[in-house]
Chains A and B, each alone.
Chain A
């Protein structure tokens, strides 16, 4: 038996264990849940150590002698004072450094790439630049779509603008904005459904095709074993509940 075969069996077993949650919370699922938490935390520790701390701190400071990079380690240790209640307030300096950096670094790209470009490309005359000179059968639908797009963007922005009361023309535009948002959310739900089903199709493909190339025997046997175990747990608990109900009645 190779490591890969053992791996396939373990992966199949754990997949079925996690799927057992569809029945209800049960000991198999809780075992899998705690196992997953332990492993993913260890992976997180490795990720940060091997890909952040080691190349960017240990190698820069102790191998390349760039002592400039000792400062973030100092900030890091300051952050750890949060574990000591008496001096936990010192960790605010580190938090302020990290949050201040985050606040400063996000503004430029948000303004340039998101805000300005998106506003610019909402205007019909910008969208129509690609179809100038095209025949009417292409130009007219593109023109109608550009105008509708612009109107919908403006309506949604008016809906989210709460500084002016939504009455009259503004109210009508805001109402149109809600309808546009309903269509957008409906379309987004359709896409989300696709994504979630695709994930399950991936697991199903693993169980059907990869798990047991010689005949699905292992997956089927394991699924039956887990189902029998769950049914027996359910029946045992039901019998215990019945007994507990009958006892006070007898007394």
Chain B
């Protein structure tokens, strides 16, 4: 079925309006109910004690920022509210370094946390498998300086937690690409610490098998996962704002599917009756 130009234009216009209008005129009407998978990460972090250390792997680049950056902010806010120590690292793409430093600095300032003492963003290194294995044994060996160019061996937080194995209590991997499985295979399993993952909505369905087999104990998927986490920490941000647009577009698409099928079946019946009339 080939769309006429005006049909195509109308479809695109409706989608654009459904996205732009809730952003221009924001409202707060529909609740994002947290699901079991997102609660897995929230409950794990909630059960930790002040003074415990967690690591957040900021494994994404600006291309996945709309979905994963709100997750990063929400998890950081939760961790700092609980007075946990937070380590950060990027093993995916150097372009994500800017996102990591911005998030850690902004949320750290919000909660009065000090760089180097309460948190540390290590930066980026290639060869993920080698780096993860090295960090399990000794963080300062893998990263001599952090993303802010401070020597890691002299930072109080690294002296507190010199290695991942036996040092951190939880790992959250915010992944745009294929970094979750290597973290599971080379980080979490040999290191003996549990992990959760935040992924884009595209890969969300695939990582369900990992969540099923308990290789990760929590899974956040896309903008919705971020919005659910924001509801759990009672601090609504960019993800919750975007979910209004998401809601309208999803309902619009369902209506498009129904309308398309109605148009198809009506058209087929017309053709059949024409053919019947002709014969």
The answer to whether A binds B is yes
* Chain B contact residues: helix, strand, loop or mixed: helix
Q: Does A52 contact B (CB under 8 A)?
A: yes
Which residues from chain B contact A5 at a C-beta distance below 8 Å? none
One of B209, B215, B242 near A205 (C-beta < 8 A): B242
Q: Does A228 contact B (CB under 8 A)?
A: no
Judge whether A208 and B24 touch: CB under 8 Å: yes
Q: A117-B213, A121-B212 are in contact. Are A197 and B246 (CB under 8 A)?
A: yes
Nearest-CB distance from B59 to chain A (Å)? 15
* Stretch with Cβ within 8 A of A (4 or more), from B112-120, B158-166, B219-227: B219-227
Q: How far is the CA of A107 from the CA of B180 in the complex (A)?
A: 18
Judge whether A201 and B246 touch: CB under 8 Å: yes
Q: How far is the CA of A74 from the CA of B222 in the complex (A)?
A: 44
Q: Does A112 contact B (CB under 8 A)?
A: yes
Q: A121-B214, A197-B249, A204-B19 are in contact. Are A192 and B184 (CB under 8 A)?
A: no
Which residues from chain B contact A209 at a C-beta distance below 8 Å? 23
Q: Which B residues from 183 to 230 make CB contacts under 8 A with A? A: 184-185, 200-202, 204-206, 209, 212-215, 221-224
Q: Does A221 contact B (CB under 8 A)?
A: no
Nearest-CB distance from A15 to chain B (Å)? 13
Which residues from chain A contact B201 at a C-beta distance below 8 Å? 191-192, 194-195, 198
Q: Does A66 contact B (CB under 8 A)?
A: no
Q: A52-B126, A208-B24 are in contact. Are A201 and B66 (CB under 8 A)?
A: yes
Judge whether B253 and A194 touch: CB under 8 Å: no
Judge whether B20 and A204 touch: CB under 8 Å: yes
Judge whether B12 and A194 touch: CB under 8 Å: no
Judge whether B185 and A194 touch: CB under 8 Å: no
Q: Does B67 contact A (CB under 8 A)?
A: yes
- Count, chain A residues at interface, CB 8 A: 34
Q: Does B137 contact A (CB under 8 A)?
A: no
Judge whether A121 and B213 touch: CB under 8 Å: yes
Q: Which A residues from 200 to 227 make CB contacts under 8 A with B? A: 200-205, 208-209
Judge whether A47 and B94 touch: CB under 8 Å: yes
**Residue of A with least CB distance to B126:** A51
Q: Does A2 contact B (CB under 8 A)?
A: no
One of A120, A194, A208 near B23 (C-beta < 8 A): A208
Q: How far is the CA of A51 from the CA of B214 in the complex (A)?
A: 34
Judge whether A194 and B126 touch: CB under 8 Å: no
Q: Does B238 contact A (CB under 8 A)?
A: yes
Judge whether B213 and A191 touch: CB under 8 Å: no
Judge whether A195 and B67 touch: CB under 8 Å: yes
Which residues from chain A contact B221 at a C-beta distance below 8 Å? 191, 194
Q: Does B245 contact A (CB under 8 A)?
A: yes
**Residue of A with least CB distance to B209:** A118
**Residue of A with least CB distance to B8:** A22
Judge whether B213 and A200 touch: CB under 8 Å: no
Q: A195-B200, A204-B20, A208-B24 are in contact. Are A120 and B213 (CB under 8 A)?
A: yes
Judge whether A118 and B222 touch: CB under 8 Å: no
Q: Does B65 contact A (CB under 8 A)?
A: yes
Q: Which of A121, A194, A202 has the most CB of B within 10 A?
A: A194
Nearest-CB distance from A3 to chain B (Å)? 15
Q: A201-B19, A204-B19 are in contact. Are A195 and B205 (CB under 8 A)?
A: no
3 A-B pairs with the lowest CB-CB distances in the bound complex, closest first: A202-B66, A121-B213, A195-B201
Pairs A–B under 8 Å by Cβ, sample size 29:
A22-B12, A109-B185, A117-B213, A121-B209, A121-B214, A127-B212, A130-B214, A184-B205, A191-B201, A191-B205, A191-B222, A192-B202, A193-B253, A194-B201, A194-B204, A194-B221, A194-B224, A194-B246, A197-B245, A197-B246, A198-B201, A198-B246, A199-B67, A201-B23, A201-B66, A202-B67, A204-B23, A204-B245, A205-B23
Seed contacts A118-B209, A149-B212, A197-B19; 5 additional CB < 8 Å A-B pairs: A109-B185, A117-B215, A197-B246, A197-B249, A205-B241
